Structure 1
Amino acid sequence: MKMSLIFLLMMASIAVAAQQISPGAYSLQQAVDTALKNRYDLQANQYNVLMAVNTIGRAKKEWIPVVTGNGTIRYNAQLQATYIPAGFGGLTEPTLLALGAKSVTILGLDLNQAIYRPAIRSNINIAKNNLEWQKERNRQAEIDIKVKVTEAYLNVLLKDLQQKIAGDNEQRYKEYAEIAEGKFRQGTLLENDHLRAALDYNNSRIQTEIARQHYRIALDQLKYEMNLPAATAVTLTDTIGTAVISNTSTTASPDNRTEVRQLLFQQYDNKLQLKKAKESVLPTVSLIANYSQQFLYEKFEYGRSRWWSPFSYVGVTFSLPITDHIKNAHQIREYQQRIRQTELNLLQRQTDIAYEIQQSEATLRNAERNLQIMKSNYALSGTIYENQRRQYSLGSFEYNDLLDTERSLNTAEQNYVKVVYDLLVAKVAYEKALDNF
């Protein structure tokens, strides 16, 4: 009996927990996090970072010495003659004498170690800068996704509001139609007014269905931005008043914007490229070394060890470009012009962002004030509706007068939706301007 009771209690607790957890419920931040996790394009961008890291490793490996193994096997069918002057070895006259081995085999190792080569160091710095630049590009892509998901999420909330307002309108027109039906049966309402009330109710039902369709389309758009299957059940836990970006920043410096940071990386790349172009006229110095074993004999009889002999050398080689400063003069001039161009673009972008922050903040404050005013008007329209409905049911005025009031009510509703939409747009613009995404 005790075991059965314990089992029932466990099942009950599991059922309660299952009711509390809704796997398809998303706050705005959860929707953004899901999109960042699911999007294939963001996953693909990570490979750009890995390739940039690989480029740094490849540039650093240029310092590794180059060791090569080489071999030569040669048979001299005719030996080259060497001039022997008179007096050498007791010769009374000069002569030509063919000296050397017919079978020649040389096996060796060559080493080349760069000692001074400015291009290697410049390539490493360029690769490191490109890595940080690529990370910033990835951040830009993530910001774009965050903005799209946020806009899609808020659009669903807006369409939900429009859907609710359409439902309220339908309910009002339904009550009007029911009152008109009763009055018509009592003979206190003209047939034409009765038909108009029924027509207005049917039209309101169509508007409600259209609003539902727009809501479903907006929800599908959100699921697409989150990279969720179309059949996934999704519910939103945030409301228009609570949907905010959680990772807000306290700073509004234009230098934190990814557009500015990318221009700074671009400018640093231009300077590194200019430095590399100037370094191309500097000399390069390398250490060289060789160790070889050679076999000289009449035949390729490698077993005769006495005919094997080693030789080796160590040295330094350098190369000094003579005409490269003429060839790369245009390249140097191009990067100097790019540096100045990026400088101007950076100044303009900082100015644009400062203005964007100022304007988006003012727009957001105006939208918040307008919403407070329209909330009062919307609440007042609801009070007017209740009064008009009671008066109409008592026969205090005609249906035409009711429609005049209804038009005012619809205007208040549409204005309310508009200011809500303006507030959502202003909120996204302001958060983006502050780099809070």
Structure 2
Amino acid sequence: MNFLLKKLKSKIILTFVSVLSSFLVTSAYAQTSDTLLQNATLDGIIDYALANQPIVKQAEINQEITDLQIKNRLADWYPQLNFNYNYQRNFQLPVNIIGGNQVRFGVYNTSAIQLTATQNIFNRDVLLASQTKQDVREVASKQTENARINLVANVSKNFYDLLATEQQRKITAENIVMLARSLKDARARYDVGVTDKTDYQRATIALNNAVASKKEIEEALKSKIANLKYLINYPDGRELSLEYDSTQLEAEIHLDTLETSQYTNRVEYQQLQAQLRLQQANVRYNKWSYIPTLSANGAYIKNFLNDDFAKLYNQGFPNSYAGLTLGFPIFQGGKRKNNIIIAEKQVQQTELDLVDFVNQASSEYKTAMAQYRANMANYLALKENMELAAEVHKIIELQYREGIKTYLELITAQTDLRAAQINYFNAVYGLLSSKIDVRKAEGAIQVN
């Protein structure tokens, strides 16, 4: 009995340990899933967006639909087999007049089984589908790729904009701490009679302004987080916090400004080229309308005839045939000629679209590169300004504590430092955004 109890106890313990282990593993997995974007890097956010954004998913679905449509068109090259079954009950047999006498022909019950086959030998619709399948697939795939590239660019720029606002919040929070300390010092100086009350009143005004500014920035931050969530299709109820390395991001701002525009790398250009090939194939398709269509066909038919329904299928009468069908429209009122001219005009339109895109791509690249160079010059100037403002603030703060400088000068130095820091970080993330524009304009953004 004791042995059984011990064995049962061991089983209960093992079961409990197993369940607990499973729970811990499941919890760990759930926690990992839930925190997937809790401390999200830019790469993590982009991956999430590419996997969940509806526009990208719609483009992928459209690509799948296009592939299935191509398969449907190509299916017409295969033999088309059909089976038909028919039963007919004649209540009155048909009458014919022979030698002035009425004679009824047929039986009251008829049935037939038919197996037919058709094979296209020449059919311009099927021929067009087989020759253009790769270009049709390429157009659909480039649409998907273009949606992905636009998403990557928009997510990246929104990410940088969000980081710039987050840096403003941090700088403002640090400034509030600094102003609170200055207010405390100014009040102490006033209490001992070293200064008048205008110093701590100015300190109060500056602190209140900083607190209000921080609140405004925090609200803007919420709005930008909501916009980023919308852009990547992130659940509204889940927290989205970002992980980034300012030093690493700053190291990524550089770009080779001596590169020339490579518009052939642009997805839009490749898509237009595929469309041009499709338009040229359409010209050939309309010219093929002067060629007859040819198909082979055959059938096996077994008829069953009997007045008595019970004996209808006792005996069958088979027949079969095979043949060729040649079809050629002789006159269509000039429709075929007009269709050829229309197709040739559409080719000309697509060629002009290519010319227009090349000009547009060149303009976009030059504009993006000019903006990047301007932002780089601005970044270098603002970086030096921030370093100088930090040094000036440090000196004036020491001089103020020694009674050399006035409080107004200290407030001015603090304001200049805060503005220089905010401008610097805005320049960093603005430069990163303009780099995205350059890479997009030169077709250098790669997506999986």
TM-score scaled by length of structure 1: 0.80
Where 2:329 maps in the other structure, the secondary structure is coil
Q: Is the 8 A contact 1:25 1:235 kept in 2?
A: yes
Following the alignment from structure 2 to structure 1, what is the Cα–Cα distance between the partners of residues 74 and 64? 16
Residues 72-97 of structure 1: CA deviation (Å, up to 9, x unaligned): 74757454235xxxxxxxxxxxx567
Following the alignment from structure 1 to structure 2, what is the Cα–Cα distance between the partners of residues 397 and 108? 110
* AA at the equivalent of 1:390: L
Where 1:237 maps in the other structure, the secondary structure is coil
Partner of 2:122: 116
Picking from 29, 54, 62, the partner of 2:68 is 54
Where 2:334 maps in the other structure, the secondary structure is helix
Partner of 1:281: 290
Partner of 2:437: 429
Superposed counterparts of 1:244-393, under 5 Å: 253-294=262-303, 299-300=307-308, 303=311, 309-324=317-332, 326-393=334-401
Where 2:385 maps in the other structure, the secondary structure is helix
Q: Is the 8 A contact 2:146 2:267 kept in 1?
A: yes
Superposed counterparts of 1:400-411, under 5 Å: 400-406=408-414, 408-411=416-419
Structure 1 position 38 matched with structure 2 position 52: yes
Structure 1 position 102 matched with structure 2 position 106: yes
* AA at the equivalent of 1:227: N
Following the alignment from structure 1 to structure 2, what is the Cα–Cα distance between the partners of residues 102 and 399? 120
Go from structure 1 to structure 2 and tell me whether the alpha carbon gap of 1:307 and 1:152 turns closer, same or farther (over 3 Å shift): closer
Q: Is the 8 A contact 2:305 2:312 kept in 1?
A: no
Partner of 1:11: none
Q: Is the 8 A contact 1:35 1:225 kept in 2?
A: yes
Following the alignment from structure 1 to structure 2, what is the Cα–Cα distance between the partners of residues 192 and 54? 78
Q: Is the 8 A contact 2:94 2:105 kept in 1?
A: no
Go from structure 1 to structure 2 and tell me whether the alpha carbon gap of 1:72 and 1:116 turns closer, same or farther (over 3 Å shift): farther
Picking from 74, 79, 82, the partner of 1:67 is 82
Where 1:313 maps in the other structure, the secondary structure is strand
* AA at the equivalent of 1:67: N
TM-superposed deviation, 1:429? 0.7
Structure 1 position 29 matched with structure 2 position 43: yes
TM-superposed deviation, 1:100? 7.6
Go from structure 1 to structure 2 and tell me whether the alpha carbon gap of 1:402 and 1:323 turns closer, same or farther (over 3 Å shift): same
Residues 304-344 of structure 1: CA deviation (Å, up to 9, x unaligned): 99985443332222111112371243332222212111111
Picking from 128, 131, 153, the partner of 2:137 is 131
Superposed counterparts of 1:158-307, under 5 Å: 158-243=164-249, 253-294=262-303, 299-300=307-308, 303=311
* AA at the equivalent of 1:292: I
Where 2:291 maps in the other structure, the secondary structure is coil
Q: Bigger shift: 71-80 or 419-428?
A: 71-80
Go from structure 1 to structure 2 and tell me whether the alpha carbon gap of 1:343 and 1:387 turns closer, same or farther (over 3 Å shift): same
Go from structure 1 to structure 2 and tell me whether the alpha carbon gap of 1:329 and 1:72 turns closer, same or farther (over 3 Å shift): farther
Partner of 1:7: none
Q: Bigger shift: 418-427 or 194-203?
A: 418-427
* AA at the equivalent of 2:389: S
Following the alignment from structure 2 to structure 1, what is the Cα–Cα distance between the partners of residues 46 and 260? 22
* AA at the equivalent of 1:279: W
Larger radius of gyration: 1
Following the alignment from structure 2 to structure 1, what is the Cα–Cα distance between the partners of residues 222 and 365? 34
Segments of structure 1 that go 5 or more residues without pairing to the other structure are 1-13, 83-94
Where 2:129 maps in the other structure, the secondary structure is helix
How many residue pairs were aligned? 404
* AA at the equivalent of 2:52: N
Partner of 2:156: 150
Go from structure 1 to structure 2 and tell me whether the alpha carbon gap of 1:394 and 1:374 turns closer, same or farther (over 3 Å shift): same
Matched-pair identity in %: 22
Go from structure 1 to structure 2 and tell me whether the alpha carbon gap of 1:208 and 1:304 turns closer, same or farther (over 3 Å shift): closer
TM-score scaled by length of structure 2: 0.78
Where 1:387 maps in the other structure, the secondary structure is helix
Go from structure 1 to structure 2 and tell me whether the alpha carbon gap of 1:313 and 1:228 turns closer, same or farther (over 3 Å shift): closer
Segments of structure 2 that go 5 or more residues without pairing to the other structure are 1-24
Go from structure 1 to structure 2 and tell me whether the alpha carbon gap of 1:315 and 1:396 turns closer, same or farther (over 3 Å shift): same
Following the alignment from structure 1 to structure 2, what is the Cα–Cα distance between the partners of residues 361 and 304? 86
Following the alignment from structure 1 to structure 2, what is the Cα–Cα distance between the partners of residues 389 and 340? 72
Partner of 2:7: none
Following the alignment from structure 1 to structure 2, what is the Cα–Cα distance between the partners of residues 305 and 71? 13
Q: Is the 8 A contact 1:55 1:127 kept in 2?
A: no
Go from structure 1 to structure 2 and tell me whether the alpha carbon gap of 1:287 and 1:411 turns closer, same or farther (over 3 Å shift): closer
Q: Give the root-mean-square deviation of aligned CA atoms.
A: 3.4
TM-superposed deviation, 1:382? 0.9
Q: Is the 8 A contact 1:281 1:324 kept in 2?
A: no
Where 2:326 maps in the other structure, the secondary structure is strand
Q: Bigger shift: 25-34 or 288-297?
A: 288-297
Residues 32-69 of structure 1: CA deviation (Å, up to 9, x unaligned): 01111222443343322222122122112213234343
Q: Is the 8 A contact 1:157 1:239 kept in 2?
A: no
Residues 365-395 of structure 1: CA deviation (Å, up to 9, x unaligned): 4423432332122011111111111212222
Where 2:330 maps in the other structure, the secondary structure is coil
Following the alignment from structure 2 to structure 1, what is the Cα–Cα distance between the partners of residues 94 and 225? 89
Picking from 78, 81, 94, the partner of 2:97 is 81
Where 2:112 maps in the other structure, the secondary structure is strand
* AA at the equivalent of 2:112: L
Following the alignment from structure 1 to structure 2, what is the Cα–Cα distance between the partners of residues 429 and 303? 82
